[in-house]
Chain A
Amino acid sequence: MKPHPTPEQALASAYLDGDVTAAERARVDGSPELLALVASMRHAVSLIAAVTPPPDAGREAALAAALAEFDTRTNGNLNSTSNVISLDSHRRWPAAVLTAAAAVVLVGVVGISVLRDTSDHKSESAALATDDEATKRSDTGVADGAVAGAQPTGGADEVILQSSVATLEIDDPQDLLTLAPPAPYADTAPVADTTGIAAETATSAERLDSYNVDALACMTDTQVFLADISYRGMLAIAVRDTVTGVTEAIDSNCRVLARVNS
């Protein structure tokens, strides 16, 4: 196909579009050949222009898709706006508290070393939880008295020997509040209360940091692991509920040895 029309084709096409001078129009009107060409083109143009209307279903589907795109973009804009949140707001624990928690860890490590050398450690660490905040999980069926009378299997010395990580000695339930999720989860775990995603991630990851597998199995989906502890001589884990903010000490029998509201 040649790229350029013949002069007759160009004139006939322009005639159809009304894009001719008076002289050109007169030339076409006086030429049967040109009029025939114009008629042929006009027929072609009429066919080209006569497009069958689209099916209603196709029209509605296209409109629905376009409006869905509109909705997505609108919601996406809203989401992107709401997602612009300062990381500071995610930092549940101020630096001072984290420093204090680190100090507690250090003290705990030192304390363990001291306990290893203390002959009367066993009698000291056998003290049991008797405070009001020491409750049991409803699904254990163990009475408070049983909690108070429970002994860690093998005694504290054995517990310490089982431990491959530092275990904090905690006697005061309020000390549980000084604990924070271990790094690197400290910034992410407790904040995503509305979605639970961050909490779930942190929980799964942090469980690897504890040796107290039985106690870890007692955690709920909304709790994050804080630390392995020895609560008044009982091997336990400290956990915090990302929804309620309640911090608990839980032993391997799923008993709540202490519960403190933040």
Chain B
Amino acid sequence: MTAAQAGDRGALDQLLRRHYDRMHAVCRRITGNEADAADAAQEAMIAVVRGLARFDGRSAFGTWVYRIATNASLDELRRRRRRPQLAGRDREEFQEPIDHDGELRIDHMADRFQLDAALADLPEDFRVPVVLRDVADLDYAEIAEVLNVPIGTVKSRIARGRAQVADAISRGNGNQVQDPDRPTPGNST
């Protein structure tokens, strides 16, 4: 990283290449689709280049780049809300690679669609810490630093976010898990 900061193009290439996939994964989970994830990841990479000279090493490099990826993803989401959506854009033009290994993968694909839907339903304040914990593998303190919130808030949001996603997936699989916070047809008022 020092070499990259000093202007070594080859070192920069290696540095970016090493972190790209994980940055893209963060973007993918926050934005919810491949097209926006690709855009956000690219913006994040460019932002890393622009900010590399100012990175002072007070935080881990990974924490720093995931913060950038997170911000880029949230920016991409805001842009997406402002622009008209093309029906089926993701599936027609940016379809993710499909695993053709066998029928066993079908369940996984169903889970994936349910997961995308569940994460999309999760407010950003909950989705982002969940993604930073479970995709970027940041610890609570690092997530608190990225989001500039107390560690207790991070723990709480992660727990709540995971619970909602887990519930959505379970319901999608026909395994109803009762969320005590969720009203049911029988007890809603």
Which residues of A line the B interface, CB within 8 A? Answer: 1-6, 9-10, 12-14, 16-17, 19, 36-37, 40-41, 43-45, 47-49, 51-55, 58-59, 61-63, 65-67, 69-71, 73-74
Contacts and interface: CB of A to CB of B under 8 A. Distances in A.
Interface string B1-36: 000000101001100110011001100110000100
B48 interface: yes
A37 B118 CA distance: 17
A61 B135 CA distance: 22
Nearest to B112: A47
A102 B131 CA distance: 75
Closest 5 CB pairs of A and B: A13-B159, A51-B25, A66-B45, A5-B159, A44-B166
B134 interface: yes
A4 B181 CA distance: 10
A61 B28 CA distance: 16
A13 B158 contact: yes
A13 B123 contact: no
B20 A59 contact: yes
A59 B19 CA distance: 11
Contacts of A66: 12, 16, 42, 45-46, 48-49
Interface in B163-189: 163-167, 169-170, 177, 180-181
B97 interface: yes
B144 interface: no
A224 B41 CA distance: 51
B156 interface: yes
A63 B16 contact: yes
Secondary structure class of chain A's binding surface, majority of residues = helix
Contacts of B17: 59, 63
Contacts of A6: 163, 180-181
A63 B20 contact: yes
A14 B16 contact: no
Given A51-B25, A65-B42, A45 B162 contact: yes
Interface of B: 7, 9, 12-13, 16-17, 20-21, 24-25, 28-29, 34, 37-38, 41-42, 45-46, 48-50, 96-97, 111-112, 115, 118-119, 123, 126, 130-131, 133-135, 140, 155-160, 162-167, 169-170, 177, 180-181
Interface centre among B12, B112, B159, B160 (most CB of A within 10 A): B159
B21 A54 contact: yes
Contacts of B177: 36-37, 40
Interface centre among A6, A48, A52, A53 (most CB of B within 10 A): A48
A33 to B, nearest CB: 10
Contact of A49 (B96, B97, B134): B134
Contacts of A9: 159-160, 162-163
A54 B25 CA distance: 8
A13 B112 contact: no
Contacts of B158: 13, 17
A73 B50 contact: yes
A70 B156 contact: no
B45 to A, nearest CB: 4
Given A1-B123, A6-B181, A47-B112, A19 B160 contact: no
A61 to B, nearest CB: 7
B156 A10 contact: yes
A74 B181 contact: no
29 contacts: A2-B160, A3-B157, A5-B156, A9-B159, A10-B155, A13-B155, A14-B155, A14-B159, A19-B155, A36-B177, A40-B166, A40-B177, A41-B166, A43-B169, A45-B162, A48-B165, A49-B135, A52-B96, A54-B38, A62-B20, A62-B38, A63-B16, A66-B12, A66-B46, A66-B48, A67-B9, A70-B49, A71-B9, A73-B50
Contacts of B162: 9, 13, 16, 41, 44-45
Contact of B170 (A3, A19, A40, A63): A40
Nearest to B23: A62
A10 B159 contact: yes
A56 to B, nearest CB: 10
